Amino acid sequence: NAGVMQNPRHLVRRRGQEARLRCSPMKGHSHVYWYRQLPEEGLKFMVYLQKENIIDESGMPKERFSAEFPKEGPSILRIQQVVRGDSAAYFCASSQITYEQYFGPGTRLTVT
Amino acid sequence: AQSVTQLGSHVSVSEGALVLLRCNYSSSVPPYLFWYVQYPNQGLQLLLKYTSAATLVKGINGFEAEFKKSETSFHLTKPSAHMSDAAEYFCAVSDSGGGADGLTFGKGTHLIIQP
């Protein structure tokens, strides 16, 4: 039973480029969450999605960030025109409703 | 609004000694509480969770935590530390059980095990 999968594991982008982070939830899970972890900080909630719906995006920066979870395929976190401050580890988690969240290994984004 | 405070960004114990990692929370509703462990360059693994059943919760790897409503605490303990316990530990809170909203995390406690 495969866990939550994220790719790529490491991503390097130059300032101004776009970053696309992918997350495939555990089998049978229909809820996906994205978190960001900055150095020496805990995880900060960004967005909660179900298939084709954004349920809660209260933690998403207002500009440049977007997320989707299409009917088919993985969830995508997209960061446009990246800046150095976007460098962080981005974690995806999935769950069944009312159950605990299971985390993927993360994508470490470095902006040069 | 929910919040979590973890006292001590770094905790050092000797191998075989008691591990105590502190977590205090605030929540406007009866909370669901979680402890996660993160090993270097890996994702988070759930250690245990409190969901309003028994106040003493047993988790994996010999860890347990006690929910104390009067103290708004959910401290994590292990009777005897092992070298493999060295990792980052995060306490988290949810209003809904963790499956229907984003978790609010503390800043983490780095556990160091001295040989």
What would the pLDDT profile of A24-35 be if each residue is shown by its tens digit?
A: 999 989 899 999
Instruction: Answer for the pair A45, A37: CB distance below 8 angstroms, yes or no.
Output: no
pLDDT by residue for chain A (112 residues), tens digit each? 579 999 999 999 999 999 999 999 999 898 999 999 988 778 999 999 999 999 999 999 999 999 999 999 999 999 999 999 999 999 999 988 666 899 999 999 999 9
Name the percent of chain A in helix, strand, coil, to the closest 5.
5, 50, 45
Quick check: B90 and A42 CB within 8 A? yes
Of A43, A93, A101, the CB nearest to B90: A43
Chain B touched by A35 (CB under 8 Å): yes
B97–A48 CB contact, under 8 Å: no
The token pair at A54 is 């954004």
Residue ranges in chain B whose pLDDT is less than 70: 96-99
Q: Does any CB of chain B come closer than 8 Å to the CB of residue A33?
A: yes
Tokens of B50: 């409190």
Q: What single letter denotes the amino acid at residue B105?
A: F
Nearest to A99 among B44, B99, B106 (CB): B99
